[in-house]
Structure formats: structure tokens, C-alpha cells
């Protein structure tokens, strides 16, 4: 039997919480963390005293504000979001559709901001949500600008399938990624739900590497992709400039602006 270290046990308590389980009893935490009730009680007490967890009047635990304070220090989280929000709002005003900002975390895309369209197609996205890179527009952008070795490692893993339209073959994924690099945008059609289409573009950091991706999600049946591409690319370019990136040359119509590849 593997003996779990104290940090592992502590992290397992925090990992018991997710978007589907935002509120847990002590017994729930013990079960989901794979710890004895005695150990869970001790660790939850320490985390509650520190502010990482909060206990309501019913005795149910929630993630505490102290973790939000720590998360706000992440340069790819709240700090990036604060710079990006004005450009995301402009993109929303131009489209009145779902607008998203995301970063890469390993083999996943993590959404750090989302503006919901008033009458737009529904999406399975919320701030902090994760999806596999190959299944979303923002994820395809981020994967397309990874190192070639990382792309090959990703293509070698099983590709999760959510609809009949999800990219499931490594050879097809490689072709899609090459097209994303060539055009500077990704179009992901009905990969997560069979009624949504997203158009995404890369956000560059000060050194020219792709730091994030921005997208707009519309109903597939109403999608006007040629009209959406300039709006999404303009928002991405604005965020890139706000981060300190300066293009070496003026972007050409239809061409991707990251210059490091």
C-alpha cells in the first residue's frame, strides 16, 4: 500500500471540490478524498482555520475566499482577465454572442472569463471549466502553438469524443492544427455540442508566444464565420497589445499574426 504524504492528503481534500461538487459535508470530503474520517476532520479543520475552506450553518463546507485571494495572483488568471475584459466586452457588443477567454493547462483548456450572450446558443462553459484541447476553438489555437513535441504527445493520447463531429483521429487533428497556424484562427464546429460553432484566435504575450486564446461561440445553423473572424482577431490583437506584445509587421488579412512560428 502506498503511503500518502501530508501534502498529498491536504491537496486531496481541496481536490474533492469541483464544479459539480461545490459544497460537501465532512463525510463527502472523506469519501471523495479517499481519506479516513478522522484524518479528513483534522485536515478540514486546518484548512478552515486558514481560510481555504468555509463552513456554513448547516455544517457544509465550501471553498473559502482565501483561495480566491491566492488565485488572483496568478498572471494567467485574474491579472490576464483584467487586461482582457474591455476587449472581450467590445467583442460581445459586436456579436451579442458568447465570448470566452482561455489558457492552456497541460492537456486541457481552462476558461478564465466568459460573457454570456443574451439570446445565444447554450454552452457547457463556466469560469474555471476544463475541456480537452482538441475539442474547442480556444483549445485548438493553444494546441496549434505548442511545441511540435507537445503536439505529437497530445496526438498520441486517446482523443475524447463528445459528439459525432468531435475530432477523433490524430491525422485529422494534425491537419486542423496546421490550418490554424496557417490562417491564425480556429473554427471548431459542433465538437462539444451538436448545435454550436466557435471561432477563436491567439493572444500573444510580450515575447510573442501564445499566452491565451479568445473566442466567440454561436449557433451552428446561424454562423457567419467570415464576419466573425475579423471581430475575434481584433479582440485578440487588442488583448495582445495590452499585454505588451508588438507585432513586427502589420497583420495581413487572413494570416495568423503570431510571428514565432
Q: Return the CATH number at 105.
A: 3.30.450.40
Q: Return the CATH number at 10.
A: 1.10.10.10
In a domain? residue 106:
yes
Quote the pTM value.
0.72
Beta-ladder partners of 109: 104, 131
Buried b (16+ CB within 10 A) or exposed e, 114-136: bbebeebbebebeeebbbbbbbb
Last residue of a domain, one of 49, 68, 87: 68
Among 38, 18, 24, smallest CA distance to 108 is for 18
Q: Which domain holds residue 33?
A: 4-68
Clarify whether residues 198 and 79 are in a common domain: yes
In a domain? residue 138:
yes
Q: Give me the number of domains the chain comprises.
A: 2
Clarify whether residues 23 and 81 are in a common domain: no
Clarify whether residues 79 and 198 are in a common domain: yes
Would you write out the chain's pLDDT as a tens digit for each of its 261 residues?
Answer: 566 888 899 999 999 998 788 899 999 999 999 999 999 999 999 999 999 999 998 999 999 888 876 776 666 556 688 889 999 999 999 998 999 999 998 999 988 888 887 655 655 666 778 899 999 999 999 999 999 999 999 999 999 999 999 999 999 999 999 999 999 999 999 999 888 999 999 999 998 999 999 999 998 888 889 999 999 999 999 999 999 988 776 555 545 556 444
Amino acid at each position: 500500500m502506498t503511503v500518502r504524504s501530508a501534502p498529498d492528503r491536504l491537496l486531496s481534500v481541496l481536490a474533492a471540490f469541483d464544479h459539480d461538487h461545490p459544497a460537501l459535508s465532512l463525510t463527502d470530503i472523506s469519501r471523495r478524498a479517499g481519506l479516513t474520517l478522522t484524518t479528513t476532520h483534522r485536515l478540514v479543520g486546518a484548512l478552515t482555520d486558514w481560510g481555504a475552506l468555509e463552513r456554513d450553518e448547516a455544517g457544509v463546507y465550501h471553498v473559502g475566499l482565501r483561495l480566491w485571494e491566492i488565485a488572483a495572483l496568478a498572471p494567467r488568471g485574474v491579472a490576464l482577465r483584467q487586461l482582457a475584459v474591455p476587449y472581450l466586452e467590445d467583442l460581445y457588443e459586436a456579436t451579442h454572442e458568447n465570448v470566452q477567454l482561455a489558457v492552456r493547462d497541460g492537456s486541457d483548456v481552462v476558461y478564465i472569463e466568459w460573457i454570456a450572450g443574451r439570446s445565444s446558443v447554450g454552452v457547457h462553459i463556466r469560469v474555471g471549466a476544463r475541456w480537452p484541447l482538441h475539442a474547442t476553438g480556444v483549445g485548438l489555437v493553444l494546441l496549434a502553438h505548442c511545441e511540435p513535441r507537445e503536439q505529437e504527445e497530445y496526438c498520441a493520447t486517446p482523443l475524447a469524443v463528445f459528439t459525432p463531429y468531435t475530432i477523433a483521429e490524430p491525422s485529422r487533428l494534425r491537419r486542423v492544427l496546421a490550418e490554424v497556424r496557417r490562417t491564425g484562427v480556429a473554427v471548431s464546429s459542433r465538437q462539444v455540442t451538436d448545435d454550436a460553432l466557435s471561432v477563436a484566435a491567439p493572444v500573444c504575450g510580450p515575447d510573442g508566444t501564445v499566452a491565451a486564446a479568445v473566442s466567440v461561440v454561436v449557433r451552428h445553423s446561424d454562423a457567419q464565420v467570415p464576419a466573425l473572424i475579423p471581430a475575434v482577431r481584433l479582440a485578440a490583437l487588442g488583448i495582445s497589445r495590452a499585454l505588451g506584445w508588438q507585432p513586427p509587421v502589420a497583420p495581413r488579412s487572413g494570416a495568423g499574426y503570431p510571428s514565432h512560428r
